[in-house]
Chains A and B, each alone.
Chain A
Amino acid sequence: MLLSLSEDQTQILDFIDSLTRPYAAVPMHDVSFALTSDALDAELVEGGFLDVMAMEELGAVTAALVVEKLARLPFAVEAAASALVRPLLDPELPRPLCLVEEGSLRKPVRFLKPGATVVVVGEGSVRSFTAGEEHVRSAGDEVLYGYPVAFLTGVPAETRSHDVTSERLLTAWRGALAAEAAGLLAAALASVTTYVGERKQFGRPIATFQALRHRLAEIQVATNGVYWLALRAAMTGTAGDAALAALHAQEAAKRVGYDFHQFLGAMGMTLEHPLHLWTYRLKLLTAELGGRGAQAVAAADAIWGD
């Protein structure tokens, strides 16, 4: 048992901190539902940060740490699938990587655009293809989520099959989801904590009201749990650990959506405060992989199945 970060891991997280410093705050006057940056994406690729899983001394835990760290940025970066799932398929697959479950075409797909790699996870197969213009339907301006999303029009007849089981892929996907959620939860919590510490009503900071304090404290406990379960899932790679991590992450994500915005009052309903950039990513994550009920059943089967 060893739960401290290695020197390499600490160093990588420090690198990411300095590299992402220009992206740590929302650009002035920006009121987007989702923030993205090609320059940031390019710098992460350049620095090899999304490829750490394959490096012997780093591995999946480091990849999860990177994903968690990047999710804290107000900018949405396609890191989780690339860093934690792509190495199982082919490390050279073009990014962004979009994970979809076979047969659920009505759902919005995160980061989908022409040129993206779409990975289709079916009952017994894992296939991929590079999305062309014809496979992508824009979601228009109506999207509330903190991710760029689009719809898939269909899966082409010609796809590339991958030599990995659906179970293995789902396990990695769940782990990736949990690592990303951990970072989103932590960043949203920090943002709300700052706000309620400064905002005064009735002559005192609203953070001094126990009704808020206890709910925020419970969210801290959940966030800490998601963080550690995500790291454990990355480390052990077992189906049970991944499903528990994803379940805990989706439970927490569902929980915070209401509370966090509530604690900001009307400010939490604006696009001028950046909170939605994390919470509206968490919202979409609650819908991933069939939602928390599906994660729970998957966990039960993995842990207690025959």
Chain B
Amino acid sequence: MNFEWTDEQQAFRRKLVDFLAANLPEDWEEFSKHGPASPALTEFARGFCRKLAENGMLFPHWPKDIGGEGLGPWEQQILAEVMWEYGEPRGGQYMNVNWIGPTMLKYGTEAQKAKYLPQISAGEMLWCQGFSEPNSGSDLASLRTRAELEGDHYKVNGQKIWTSYAGLADTCFLLTRTSDDRKKGITILLVPMDTPGITVRQIPSLIGEGDIHEVFFDDVIVPVGQRFGEEGQAWEIIGYSLTNERLGIPRYHLAREALDRAVGILKANGEFTRETVKAEAARCAALCEAARTAIYAIVQKRVDGGTVGPESSSARYATVQAERAVSEFVVEYVPEALAGQSAFLQMHHQRGIVAGIASGAAEIQLNIIASDVLQLPREPR
């Protein structure tokens, strides 16, 4: 067992950091405050991801024959840490790395892989995730957006909400209902966002511009070839996607960086002397590091070729606790940060506060831990 990065892994991290130093604009910290979904950052990310791809840094952990460098899950984690720490210059394309790419690789048809993988690995595709609906959040299996098969195409009608990146995305990874058989009646369609009948409305939010949207589908025609997986296979597929998504964003890493910066500000002002403040900071650090090690244990499982199971919810919950503690620490002891005095801490706060909601509510993670990690008998329905 070894908790230290190898020389190669350290060199890989340095290479990424150097690349960022050379390729991010000088006012990056201020710029990235807009959030990964803002039009400005999305636009920047298109060029930036292409450059990352050209330099083998977009999918370094993928096999070489599909556009990667043949590195492993640890490098994938390092990549995620560095990018998220720097305010996610890949914009919404981080989703391609975290869950869309892996899902496409595992479940896509040869034709779909041939169509999408080259664009994904070249850094040229922005997706959005059409899962949640106004009446189907945590209870995702109750979703109602309907897809009726009519000959060689589906006709889609319904509404999605909270869809990140929808305003600028090329394609939607859309969950639709094709039969009334709850989980077994859900089907995935890959829908170009410029298809007639799709309307997107942005929802102003606490977390930065452009992040969340409503998407309306009005008699939207989708060719059968755009179905992903079989009819009714969505639940199985998104189980895989969501496990990857849950672990995808290394929030513990940015939270720890934010904590260190907050402590730095307190020290510079001679205020890091009170034991109550120190103790609070240490508690935050313990939560960040506990989350980090819980995630690393899962990365190790991937390295060893194991399947990641409900422990991903446990690690995710640990991350939510870390995010929350650090956000609260900053507000309590460095309140000026959220009044425009620290672009970095403000960026962290706006990204941190969604940790317990986006990719599934924290309480849902607790339900999963109770049933599937602790194996307690399930709640009656």
Contacts and interface: CB of A to CB of B under 8 A. Distances in A.
B296 A1 contact: yes
Of the four ranges (under 10, 10 to 19, 20 to 34, 35 or more), the interface on chain A belongs to 35 or more
B376 A197 contact: yes
Given A220-B374, A244-B282, A244-B286, A213 B3 contact: no
A218 B366 contact: yes
B300 A3 contact: yes
B6 A1 contact: yes
Interface string B3-15: 1111001000000
A205 interface: yes
Interface in B295-314: 296-297, 299-300, 303-304, 311, 314
B285 A197 contact: no
Interface stretch (B151-159, B233-241, B243-251, B273-281): B273-281
A217 B282 contact: no
Interface stretch (A102-110, A120-128, A226-234): A226-234
B339 interface: no
Contacts of B287: 225, 248
Nearest to B77: A1
Contacts of B4: 1, 235-236
Interface of A: 1-6, 9, 61, 189, 193, 196-197, 204-205, 207-210, 213-214, 216-218, 220-222, 224-226, 228-229, 231-232, 235-236, 241, 243-245, 247-248, 251, 293, 295-297, 299-301, 303-304
B321 interface: yes
A299 B290 contact: no
Contacts of A222: 290
Contacts of B304: 4
A6 B1 contact: yes
B296 to A, nearest CB: 6
Interface string B356-367: 000000010111
Interface of B: 1-6, 9, 74, 260, 263, 267, 272, 275, 278-283, 285-287, 289-291, 293-294, 296-297, 299-300, 303-304, 311, 314-315, 317-318, 321, 363, 365-367, 369-371, 373-380
A245 B9 CA distance: 25
Given A189-B374, A213-B370, 9 more contacts: A1-B9, A4-B1, A221-B321, A224-B297, A229-B286, A248-B290, A297-B279, A300-B279, A300-B282
A241 B288 CA distance: 12
Contacts of B278: 296-297, 300-301, 304
A244 B374 contact: no
Given A225-B290, A228-B293, A216 B376 contact: yes
Nearest to A223: B314
Contacts of A5: 1
Contacts of B370: 207, 213-214, 216-217
Given A228-B293, A297-B282, A220 B314 contact: yes
Contacts of A197: 375-377
B360 to A, nearest CB: 14
A212 to B, nearest CB: 8
B297 A3 contact: yes
Contacts of B366: 213-214, 217-218
A205 B371 CA distance: 13
B286 A213 contact: no
B374 A217 contact: yes
Contact of B272 (A225, A229, A304): A304
Contacts of A1: 2-6, 9, 74, 296, 299-300
A107 to B, nearest CB: 21
Contacts of A204: 377, 380
Contacts of B263: 304
B351 to A, nearest CB: 21
B12 to A, nearest CB: 12
Chain A to chain B: the 5 pairs with minimum beta-carbon distance, closest first: A225-B290, A228-B293, A296-B279, A300-B278, A213-B370
